A and B are shown apart, each in its own frame.
Chain A
């Protein structure tokens, strides 16, 4: 009973801190919406200009193959000197240069053109080259097929599972939610423990019948409730209703998984609280933990692209398990038989952290 009052006290404290409440609400709603909707890591609306020395039917035809939503043809330029200026001002991802004899050569089954790409936008430049390369090869193959009667063609059918149109928002919305949860679980418990210390409440508790352990447990329970509530709002309101991301799996299972992740990460937060004595330290330590956790989870860069050491280190990031299982539940719609392993791994990882955290904090207070 006493414990429940403590939990209630923590919840009230949280709700009454208007600034914090607003920010946390924003993190679970607006922030996720913006991150999911505003940014697209795939090639979309890549602006390009054409410097066409040929101006033939064929040259215009090939430019017309580069269509939205991947490409955005902005017009012709007339002078090669303009290339530099357009790329310098980031007005285009690339510029296509079609030589004078383009249509002539095409009649002899030869295709010759050039791309000047903005190397300062490396990731898009990469995709731009890949996409245009295959479109132009396709164009070329069609042409040759018309000339050469005996032509064997391979038709490649792409099927992207779970996200047929490779929409970034599926991924970014969820990974933002995971990042938000990580940030809050790292900072909130540590901050609220340090605050009690700062305000001298710990001394009060020492002489009261309450134990510090109970107080901390109440804080952790309260934070868990807040974050699970936020997650539910976020999944249903933002992901499902506003962003139209298909939530295929069982939401209860997702909440259990989230609780497992909160448990693991709270162990870290307790650890932060136990070694820091003021909020500057809490904030800096939280960032110090947050970035490797986020980074090594593979939520920002594809796992395969990381250096080998980093790939091995990802197994130490609790977020990796949460992320893999979270996508599995929400996007892939897999059930407990798939996810149990991840929950177990998080639990095994969290247990020592939690024990150490409580041990240190008891020692310190």
Chain B
């Protein structure tokens, strides 16, 4: 015989709880019979819902015991008792407005902060997670061994992607991925610059970018194909449908065929571009990308679904050994791989192993969120235990009447929950108000995910957690009171709870002080970065791309620009002044280590480069037209000289690949990359007619004449290069852009520190109010006996100040350690100085004093006659 389906067990259990025992049989019997009937009628699935619905009916109005007073349900579900609990809770809330306000505001701020951070963390974790094949996608990085050291490099040789696919069967697809650069496209008379990149034909098969037109197969298949974004299609052709199959002129040199249109790339992707060129077509223009000695593009690949990543990693490790990476001997470079969706958050190297990155900020902020929430919870605990005297009688009565301890605990935790529920609504309101400014600060597009069930789950979880955290200690504390002692009369404040309270206050302030110190140090570091002397002058330095007709007519252009009165110097370089990430390893010299490789940063420069950048020459001179031999000469920086090790470098020969040239000058070190990295060896060659590729024209403008100079530059470029729009960049702005994440962290740390100290002070305010209340009589007596107001304020404040002082002592070493860790991420950094701790200490003491004294003064000014009237 087939057993009949049973209704949901949990609903039955619920019934057991709410139903008096002598009614259970009939009620449950009826329910089960109804269930069986409904299965016949509407099927099992709907019958289950129906059953739950019916049970809920009984929950709403529970059956009454048949014999009155026969059974009293002693559980929290008892509606009468619940009503009583709620009533008491509400009365307490309304009666103590200060305490409720302090708690609700504190908890709401804490939770709002946690929510914001949670949303931010969720957003950070979602980046690059949308690719359908993300489990199979990897990125390559290299470990380069040279002169006993090892360094991690993310740039890889151009031909590597193809080689991976050829030589390793587990690798299904692969693509190089160049750096995004602004290129000029035109259709008829419409001209625009677009963020352009290059990738292989596999790109759209690997990554889930939605194609509106064209297929992933054909998107970049042919050499002259181009995949463009929806917005680019709209701006040139009006719509994606109209764009497909059309040609578009690239760089005024080639016609490319549009073979795919993809949806505009969302913020949750690290790879962003307006259009993608085919890799082979890119190599046509950039011959160096053919060579194994180049290291420029990133390389991504996708393994077969059944392949074992560990085996693939073992196979690729020595892949580069068979290639001559500089013409005469193998370079010792190992390859390693990293899951693609992890690289956004984990991009830093330590000893050539992936180690941290943005993930550290994610962790840091998560910790801060927990801390701030904890501070708010501590407020609740402290105030609840401090006020335990007020509730003691109630607890006594309840116990005498026969409440079990578990019930009392439930009651007080429930009260905390109630408060937390109020707070969470307030917190959601705060978050909704703050999100726009938070988004603009962090450059994100986070919305309140109200349609997302998991968000409400998180809210409920947060409420529960906070309620438990805040409510559990007071609940245990209060429920443990001895009813006989309480009801007899005087409740002594026992020292144990005082100790604990003081400990918690110290903890709160220690956290706040750590955050304040952090705020100071982060602010100083960011300021340092902004104002550091970089070795060149980044003010009034404008650069614009050398492109189109300007390349061949550069000399004329330079001549013309020199005649503009508001412009001091002009030159050009193959990179941009503030960030130059290219590298070469084909450089050797007399006595260079045959097995060791040094990555030099190459840069092609024009005449007057040193003057224009305002660099200092340590030895030798800048390139000069007076010496024709300079065309094969090199400028190096001090870092390069250190590596090369020549005593008298000027005139010595350096080999680069198969060519060679003499050193004509040594430049003082300057920062051509961000301050996160130390200055690399730099080698500059003269980029003249025959060797000139694109790059940037750099222009030194006279201070205060920027507008005028730019207008003249624009007119000139329009005349000489009509096919291209004139775009320019300010070096100082580009430089500042490299520290965007530090800027954000700096601002956020200010807010968090402020919030932490604010919530701590809220709690302190509550406690001060409480002690002032408690000691009203004492203050009265003291005043009658002639104590001055100031001495009383001192008396009341000193207890708290002691705690803050201890907190400073506790927090300082921790803050020092933590900030030291953070500063390790910079090659050039400030020193942590003792005054920072003093400032943080003074600040916190002052704020605490302000908070406490407000209440103390109020208490000290009370009329003793009034406060002593009772006796």
A and B are interacting partners: no
Q: Which A residues lie at the B interface, using CB under 8 A? A: none
Q: Which B residues lie at the A interface, using CB under 8 A? A: none
